[in-house]
Amino acid sequence: MKYITITLLIIGCFFSKNLPAQNVQPSEFVNPTTEQGILNKILNGIYFTYYSPTYISNKTPVFTILKVDVSKTGKITDIIFSDNTDAAFKNAYLNNNDIESFKKTLERYAQQKSYLNTSMLIPISYQPNSPNKEGVFTYDNIQSLTKFKGQSFIGSTVILPTVIISVLSKNNM
């Protein structure tokens, strides 16, 4: 049974790559107050920060991790990118008008999942003009991916799904 499930997942992943992209909001599928609905809101918030007319002209590929620290009381204490993140990518996030709303959504998710005194890590991949292209990373790239404010990451963590932002060309949204 285990092997059948794994085989079906692999086949599903293979065939889903050939399907056209769908422009459907998750609220059509999932109640936005459920854990999955809140998670979709978080991931979409990140996605549309970068897949937007204000950032889409950036041609620099980025693979980074967004670290969200949750206190012992379930409050968000810090939201930062790993050290390998370029300034333009960080600024796009900081210029987002909904940072406070995003932070509240993160807190709701952490509280629903009972995440206390932990970090939520969200991998983000921005791929301009190179969808499904393999990246080449040096040791320093990988090391800086796990550092935040110059310090190696330590502590308990939960890794959320990766946000993949593939951009074919400018104005091709």
35-83 confidence digits (pLDDT tens): 888 888 888 888 888 877 767 777 778 889 999 999 999 999 999 999 9
First to last CA, the chain: 40
Q: What letters, b where the CB count within 10 A reaches 16 and e where it falls short, cover 98-134?
A: eeeebeebbbbbbeebebeebbbbbbbebbbeeeeee
pTM for the full model?
0.72
Q: Which two tokens stand for residue 79?
A: 């939201």
pLDDT tens for each residue of 130-154: 555 566 666 677 777 888 888 888 8
- What gap in Å lies between CA 63 and CA 170, rounded to an integer? 20
With H, G, I as helix, E, B as strand and everything else as coil, classify residue 44: helix
